[in-house]
Structure 1
Amino acid sequence: MSTIANGAANPTAPGFPHPDPCLSFWLQGGRSSPLIGHRTTDALPETADVTIIGSGISGGALAYFLLTGPNPPKRVVMLEAREVCYGATGRNGGHCRPDCYRGYKGYKAHFGKEQALKILQNEMDTLNLVDEIVTKENIDCDFWRGRSYDVALDQTCADFFKESYDEFIADGGIVDEIVTTFTDPEDAAKRTRSNGALAAYEFPAGSLWPFKLVTHLIRLCIDKHDMNLQTNTPARAVTQAADGKWAIQTDRGTITTEKVVYCTNAFTATLLPEFLGRIAPYRGQCSAVIPTKPFSGKNMLTHTYSHRNGVNNFDYTIQRPKDGTIIVGGGRWMVPVEQLIGCTDDSQKVPDLTEYLRGVMKTTMTGWGEEALNEGLLVDWTGIMGYTPEAVPYVGAVHGKPGAFISAGHSGHGMARAMTCSRGIAALLRGESWETTGLPECFQPTPERLASPKQTVEEMWVESGKTDSTVPMMH
């Protein structure tokens, strides 16, 4: 894994996913999936037209858009190091939540006004696309579409929200019928049922069961479009042959492919060393909580949430309409960042974060009350995200490597971006132009972007004290 030594950031290759990870709430509920241990063929295929490395939302959506689009390739292979959707997607908060204003100022500082506006528009496009695909394919993944609250719990955060909101509007950002502001503390606290709320901003969001979304798409690709899925088959190295094709080495043999797509998120730099320090592993922790009676039945939460102190200290919360279970994650500022940045071990939990998550609903929500036996924390788990210096992903053709593409580094915000990014990669694989993808140009992994900013992800979060407001930490 990457290492943090003596208080300084020293990124090294992240290695490979842990072979025995813990189970998330989503994965616990998916143990009946026929894709567990699935290999479409007993032997690893020797050749492919397109090979997708990774089976999370990026890989699953890419396969879907590629195989259901025009002129699909005949031989598509998906390699997964562990079980299907066992990486970040299978461990996230089930929150498809577009940023409708908050990160604008930071993105503008990195990429300029035009790109910052495109970044936020892309997130709304993604929510709409997820809604569209779930409906079109009749996917049973508990998809819910409604509204979310950004809740400021201190003045620094309230000021940050207002500054970003005002600058977004001044630069032509659209908030009418999208964002509603509540800047009176008493009103904000009452509306959000949150202790100590100073302000709240309301906007569209969705929630879902991410494992079920991804496995539905992958099963569709296998059953109807002959995709070959090979689980428990980590890609150990990728090299280019003299004929320009790519040779992917695995423990079960080598597959030669015309095109390769890296949907490898936190682990990308192991196979693509040029992304070392550009995409860094970042361990997070999330939980499932059984609500008390005051947050059950007709008193369930009507919105999803992000509760924030300062700029980058936040928790995120959804309450599942189907069964009332609350999914809450966060608390990362409670432990030294050296325990999180560079860490790729999702087989262990951080005890201090477990204790934080055990009490966060009582601390944050007004009237939570005392927990009866078997109310409160049900289970918590860890997941490995992939962060970039600017908190936006790398999406597009890999420079200097014809036939290689990437969608990775989603910075803990993949559910609000990955679906449109994968649709864009599918278009590029068909030979279409970048313009047809509709994605922000700043997502591309150009040599210029890889060289700037000079700081690595590790340096930004460790040596800058984690407080750089131009790098909005997402979820």
Structure 2
Amino acid sequence: MTEPSDLPVPLANLSLWQRTVASHRLLNARAHEPLPAEADIVVIGGGLCGAVVSHALLFPDEHPLSPSSSPSVSTPSKVGSILLLEARTLASGASGRNAGHCRPDAGRGFPAYARTHGAPEALHILRSETTALDRTAAFIHAHNIDCEWTERDTYDVHLSPEFAAHSTAALQAYADAGGVPAAYLDAGEAARETRVACVGANRWRAATLNPAQLTLGILELCEADKRFRAFAQTPVWSVTKEVGARGGGGWVVEGPRGRVRANRIVWATNAYRGCKGLEGVVQPQGAQAHKLSRAPAGAGVFPDLAGSYSLRQSTDVFYSVAPRPDGSIVLGASRGSWPRPLLAANFGCTNDAGWHAAVAANAFSAWADMYPAGGWVAGGGGGEGTKAMQAAAEIPGTQDVPDDNGSVGLEYAWNGIIGVTRDNVPLVGEVGGEYAAVGYCGHGMARIFVTAPALAHYIRTGVWDAAMPKSFRVSEERLARLRA
């Protein structure tokens, strides 16, 4: 048995979120304990999706379904022991390396979804993201999970007339189909609320959070049930179908730490390898985020930002802005803003170990230009500072921007891997007897509290929660279309 080439790589740097949980007791859970020989369910993937699927299997009554969901005609199957296996530390993938937003789509994506899935389904897709926001908030409050959850207004800031026209047309199409689009702000209102010189903006409800703290908080709840055990540093090399000695079918999960026989398998690996039936339909891509200090000019000159933002030059070139409770900021850079050579190499990339200096320089320079009153200063300018950033980015273990870069307020950066499907929605369901919820297309935080409980309910009852759009479900027809 040889090690697959598409497993998560050892991390060379930590995200902001991973730094905040570096001493968490579950981070390396059971990393040196022997694996049990058997389990009822093996969940592969120690991020938010794997955590919520596990919790919903253990405690289904704590995950409300849509009132319109069809009742089950059969007795729900009982859930026995659950093993959650993670190749690295828990919450080390996208759930620990994203930009810290739970931001539902408020209409901008409607035309694209409608072209692919039809207008009624596009409405359902967008409404499901608001449902996920509400369910995430309710769960966090019910269990008092400390994860920086902050509900706040979010804005699409129109930095060009071209994007303003695109956004206006998209939201009008959404409204014409029966949706309730985000509020529109003209240039003056938008500038006052966002402190950015712009053409206009749209505003709606969203949240920012610490996703690693949320993931580990849910896993702590799971660990309270004796049926559940999480194993970190436990990569899975193969899953094979096997007929058990007692005549029943089962699965054998193997890796460098041993083998486990399971009755059911759940893949919650997003962009990384999954069940054989999904090969080639989820494309991994890197995404980069940056930790910015609180405004160097001081709160008296530049008060902390109240909202979160997507600062948009176009549909492809934008910067996401997620303020934190302490006034610091997480700045995400869209792949459309990446230099072309990096962008070309990024498709199919599963290496999230480092970060790209050129992307950091672009994003931070744009940020400093848009918020000059904050006192952030972009250094380097293509000279020695930029060379130092590039050198640091190529040295394993380097975590911070070099002091000689000349920047003020840019502290460090990290990469994360998202999983993209060609129809822009996740794959959730049963494939060849295995279950999966993968390919979140960069919107996992605004989808998982719908998809993961829906999958858990389906595993137990064979019935789908009506809150989850039908377009998310795995089918042979859909897989054939994605591969065509």
State the TM-score, normalizing by the size of structure 1. 0.86
Instruction: Give the Cα–Cα distance (whole angstroms) in 1 for the partners of residues 267 and 25 of structure 2.
Output: 25
Q: Deviations over 1:223-258 (max 9, x none)?
A: 234411111111111111134311111111111111
Q: Please state if 1:394 is matched with 2:417.
A: no
> Deviation at 1:371?
4.7
Quickly say closer, same or farther: Cα 1:96–1:370, change in 2 above 3 A: closer
The question of whether the paired residues in 1 share the 8 Å contact of 2:42 and 2:85 is answered with yes
Q: Secondary structure of the residue that 2:223 maps to in structure 1?
A: helix
Is the deviation greater in 79-88 or in 344-353?
Answer: 344-353
Q: Secondary structure of the residue that 2:414 maps to in structure 1?
A: strand
Q: Alignment partner for residue 463 of structure 2, among 433, 456, 465?
A: 433
Q: Deviations over 1:251-276 (max 9, x none)?
A: 111111111110011113xx434433
Q: Please state if 1:450 is matched with 2:479.
A: yes
Quickly say closer, same or farther: Cα 1:295–1:167, change in 2 above 3 A: farther
Instruction: Give the Cα–Cα distance (whole angstroms) in 2 for the partners of residues 314 and 329 of structure 1.
Output: 9
The runs of 5 or more residues in structure 2 that have no matched partner are: 62-76, 379-405
Q: Alignment partner for residue 329 of structure 1, among 309, 329, 332?
A: 332
Quickly say closer, same or farther: Cα 1:239–1:346, change in 2 above 3 A: same
> Deviation at 1:216?
0.8
Q: Give the aligned partner of residue 200 of structure 2.
A: 199
Is the deviation greater in 72-81 or in 163-172?
Answer: 72-81
Q: Alignment partner for residue 50 of structure 1, among 41, 48, 54?
A: 41
User: After the TM superposition, which residues 305-316 of structure 1 pair with which residues of structure 2 at under 5 Å, given as runs?
Assistant: 305-316=309-320
Quickly say closer, same or farther: Cα 1:448–1:296, change in 2 above 3 A: farther
Instruction: Give the Cα–Cα distance (whole angstroms) in 2 for the partners of residues 167 and 185 of structure 1.
Output: 22
> Deviation at 1:296?
3.3
Instruction: Give the Cα–Cα distance (whole angstroms) in 2 for the partners of residues 240 and 150 of structure 1.
Output: 47
Q: Give the aligned partner of residue 463 of structure 1.
A: none
Instruction: Give the Cα–Cα distance (whole angstroms) in 2 for the partners of residues 14 and 300 of structure 1.
Output: 44
Is the deviation greater in 304-313 or in 360-369?
Answer: 360-369
Q: Alignment partner for residue 126 of structure 2, among 120, 128, 138?
A: 120
> Deviation at 1:132?
0.4
Q: Secondary structure of the residue that 1:77 maps to in structure 2?
A: strand
Quickly say closer, same or farther: Cα 1:97–1:225, change in 2 above 3 A: farther
Q: Give the aligned partner of residue 28 of structure 2.
A: 37
The question of whether the paired residues in 1 share the 8 Å contact of 2:376 and 2:408 is answered with no
Q: Deviations over 1:366-394 (max 9, x none)?
A: 52335599951111101111111122111
Q: Secondary structure of the residue that 2:220 maps to in structure 1?
A: helix
Q: Please state if 1:382 is matched with 2:388.
A: no
Q: Alignment partner for residue 281 of structure 1, among 284, 294, 297?
A: 284
Instruction: Give the Cα–Cα distance (whole angstroms) in 2 for the partners of residues 344 and 353 of structure 1.
Output: 17
The question of whether the paired residues in 1 share the 8 Å contact of 2:280 and 2:483 is answered with no
Q: Where do 4+ consecutive residues of structure 1 move more than 6 Å?
A: none
Q: Give the aligned partner of residue 301 of structure 1.
A: 305
Aligned residues: 431
Instruction: Give the Cα–Cα distance (whole angstroms) in 2 for the partners of residues 137 and 446 of structure 1.
Output: 35
Q: Secondary structure of the residue that 1:255 maps to in structure 2?
A: strand
Instruction: Give the Cα–Cα distance (whole angstroms) in 1 for the partners of residues 152 and 298 of structure 2.
Output: 18
Q: Alignment partner for residue 156 of structure 1, among 162, 168, 174?
A: 162
Q: Secondary structure of the residue that 1:392 maps to in structure 2?
A: coil
Q: Secondary structure of the residue that 1:433 maps to in structure 2?
A: coil
State the TM-score, normalizing by the size of structure 2. 0.85
The question of whether the paired residues in 2 share the 8 Å contact of 1:66 and 1:72 is answered with no
Cα RMSD over matched residues? Answer: 2.1
